[in-house]
A and B are shown apart, each in its own frame.
Chain A
Amino acid sequence: MNKIKNFINHADLRKFRFWLQLFFFVFFIYGGYLAIDLGRELPIFACGYNHEIAGTCYFMPLQHQLARPWETLFSVASIGVLTSFFVFLLWFIVFNKAWCGYACPMGTLQDWITSLRKFFGITYSTYTQPQYESLKKIKYIFLIIVIVFPLLLGLGILDGEWRGAFCDMCPGRIITPMFVGDFSQWSIDFSTKTAIFLSSFGIVFTALFFVGSFIKKRFFCFFCPMSAMHYIFSDVALLRLKKDGDKCTKCGDCYNVCDMQIKDIADDVKSTNILRDDCILCLKCVAACPEDDALHLDLVNYPIFKSTKGGFAKRMEIDRWEKKDD
């Protein structure tokens, strides 16, 4: 047992993640060819506009369901809305935000763009603290668009052209189909003014997606309403990111590697649950922490991956030293 634990704690997270991400990317984007269908309640941006998707992003059905007239929405006829919500919750609760760090095709794509940047030898950029504080609110605005706009539609306050407004704005709609050879989403819908606005927003956002994630690690995740949605339920999830503040030296090693620039991960020594709204549960911080047991990933209350001195040394390759003359 100890051997297994040791093996996991010393694991090369980078490699593990790379292969898992690759697997999920192929699985979701091309799963349809194998007739795989995980339903329409997935907590990731596996976009249904890609016809070969192996399961669909929950936001697509959600927006449609919530846009029903209020009498229908709040009647027994809409029991389906509740069931799909529970299915969504079920998916989410097991893996928590690890969906973002390991399974979301849009997340994986950003990581690949990061690798491309690294290949060119270009350093990444970061936000300053004030920028960070204000920008991080944007994802909640998007979440309002996802949830409140359809409700207003149902009330008759908004027009039908606002149906699925977020999907129209989302880069996932434009990007994911591209991987199965469908570029038709790269277009502006000129039918109405709103449509022009929403679809051009989508195009611009997509362009930003590529440019942004080339410059800034996980650029898009920072604005992702799914991430905001996750956070609402993350406290009840089974997979948990925990911290033992007594063991933490506040060295900031974890913060240094965090793609999402989460300061609390290093500076907060009081909370035991250290998952923050921007977190993508990539576990890079756990892998980069040099203190035994300071950070750990728990399944309910059982730690399955812990920070260790030995694991840190191995991953940083400082557990050995060969004299090399240059």
Chain B
Amino acid sequence: MINKTRKHKLESPKQKHNRHKATEAIMILDKMKHDFKEPPKAMKYFYDLFERVHCKNEPLHSDKVKVGTMCIQVPSEIIYALDAVPLRLCNGFYTNDEIGSDFLPSKACPLVKATIGEFVSNNFSDKPDLIVSPTTCDQKAKSGAIIEDLGFSVYDMEFPRTKESHESREYWRRSVRKFTKDLSADLGKKITKKRLKKSVMQVGYAQHLYHKLNVLRKNIKSPILGIDMFLVTNAFFFDKIDKWIEAVDVLIKECEQRVEDEYDCAHKRSPRIVYTGSPPIFPNLKIPLLIEQADAIIVADETCSSNRMFNDMVSVDEWFVNDMIDGIADRYLKGCTCPIFTKNEDRKRRIIDLVKEYKADGVVYQAFAGCQVYEMEQRSVLEAMEKEGIPIIYLESDYSPSHLGQLTTRIEAFVESLKNRKRKAK
């Protein structure tokens, strides 16, 4: 390191930032590639993609208008239909977390800090031209203003925080219609039936592929590790959608072959885990990594950086623009199990269903220290799982690479107890 600095004489802040990011990225990628049984060959596309974007800062969308999104609730179908690309900006870098810390209360969520940190450093491989910030959790909603102060243009998209009522459906539909109109005016592009339908179908196809891949994990011998799945879904944040589709298509074929060959990417007695809680976002995949390093395997998840991003689909009865927009709006509200909503019955039902469907042995609930809503829901989810007799562990973590010892011990103990339970059940 010292040598390197000397050679370059003076490292600019940007270079330093890049170097830190690259180190974080490479570290996790290396572990994913080498610490486990051989990953599917098709994963190479994704390993390379993250390296290209996060280590080499390669832009992917230089020819397009880029719309940054602060949450999954921003309808990507509409952005694609207006010939722009959505880029999900939720950030997972510890380096950025540290930079962002100066702008937020010390107890704020590391994800929000890191996202702001990226804006402060203004060091994007694909710089968003416009940022859409839905009013989801308090910290996200309020960071819109901070980002605006940093000189970016931010669009606040109103999002209801209850979803049971009919009013909330109407309110959100209106909000999405308004967003469509405003964005279309801003980009000077008209939304047409044909283009909207095409983008609904394309995003739908991507979702369909995700599901096709995901259900393969129901096999007792799962063909793919949870951590690799997280990488695949994380890539959807920023990758070119058609490239992503191609790569996942190849990956599915390979995984289907693995299922046929009864290849097990974990071990015979590896406990099967459902992962829920604050979203693991590259390179902060440390909890999934620790779980799988401890010889468990994540077979399903309930997080917004993965399953929730793909799960609910758009259904349309009549392919008119208004009808499609309403259908799209519903997709992002009604089925959403985000903890920002007043009630969390749906989330509990979903986790239980995942445990049953994916024959899981236990649940890992992870919340970022500072992610209030996930921290708050922890108790009720734990209670619900206990009632169902599903073992669950609650972990709190942040983005810092230190203090891994304690987390490791707890995870290992949990995995061990699941193994014992499995043994006894036999």
Interfacial residues, chain A to chain B (CB-CB below 8 A): 118, 121, 123-124, 129, 245-247, 249-257, 263, 266-267, 269, 284, 288, 290, 309, 312-313, 316-321, 323-324, 326
Contact = CB atoms under 8 A, between A and B. Distances in A.
B256 interface: no
B312 A317 contact: no
B201 A321 contact: yes
A249 B322 contact: no
Interface of B: 164, 166, 169, 194-195, 198, 201-202, 204-205, 207-208, 211, 215, 242, 245, 311-318, 320, 322-323, 326-327, 330-331, 334-335, 337, 346, 349-350, 352-353, 356
B204 A318 contact: yes
B322 A253 contact: no
A143 B237 CA distance: 56
A251 B335 contact: yes
A250 B201 CA distance: 21
A326 B202 CA distance: 14
A244 to B, nearest CB: 10
A266 B350 CA distance: 15
B320 A123 contact: yes
Contacts of A320: 205
B317 A318 contact: no
Contact of A250 (B205, B207, B335): B335
Given A129-B166, A246-B352, A316 B204 contact: yes
Most buried by B among A250, A257, A309, A324: A250
10 contacts: A124-B318, A124-B323, A249-B335, A251-B335, A267-B164, A269-B349, A284-B317, A290-B312, A317-B201, A318-B205
A321 to B, nearest CB: 4
Contacts of A326: 194-195, 198
Contacts of B313: 251, 253, 290, 312, 316, 318
B245 A252 contact: no
B208 A313 contact: yes
A246 B315 contact: no
A323 B240 CA distance: 14
Most buried by A among B207, B208, B330, B353: B208
Contacts of A288: 315, 317
Which 4 pairs, one residue from A and one from B, show the smallest C-beta to C-beta distance?
A318-B204, A251-B335, A253-B315, A252-B334
Contacts of A316: 201, 204, 313-316
A186 to B, nearest CB: 31
A169 to B, nearest CB: 31
B201 A253 contact: no
A189 to B, nearest CB: 40
Given A266-B334, A326-B194, A318 B207 contact: yes
B169 A256 contact: no
Contact of A256 (B194, B195, B327): B327
A249 B307 CA distance: 13
A123 B334 contact: no
Contacts of B317: 256-257, 284, 288
B320 A121 contact: yes
A323 B242 contact: yes
Given A250-B334, A251-B330, A257 B205 contact: no
Contacts of A253: 312-315, 327, 330-331
Contacts of A255: 330
Given A251-B334, A254-B315, A313-B208, 17 more contacts: A123-B320, A124-B318, A247-B353, A249-B337, A250-B335, A251-B335, A252-B169, A253-B327, A256-B317, A267-B164, A290-B312, A309-B215, A313-B211, A316-B313, A318-B204, A326-B194, A326-B195
B284 to A, nearest CB: 27
Contact of B205 (A254, A284, A321): A321
A249 B312 contact: yes
Nearest to A315: B315
A249 B315 contact: no
B353 A118 contact: no
Contacts of B322: 123
Contact of B330 (A256, A309, A324): A256
A246 B353 contact: yes
Nearest to B204: A318
A185 B153 CA distance: 65
A132 to B, nearest CB: 9
A128 to B, nearest CB: 8
A246 B242 CA distance: 34
A253 B316 CA distance: 8
Nearest to B323: A123
Nearest to B315: A253
Nearest to A269: B349
Contacts of A309: 211, 215
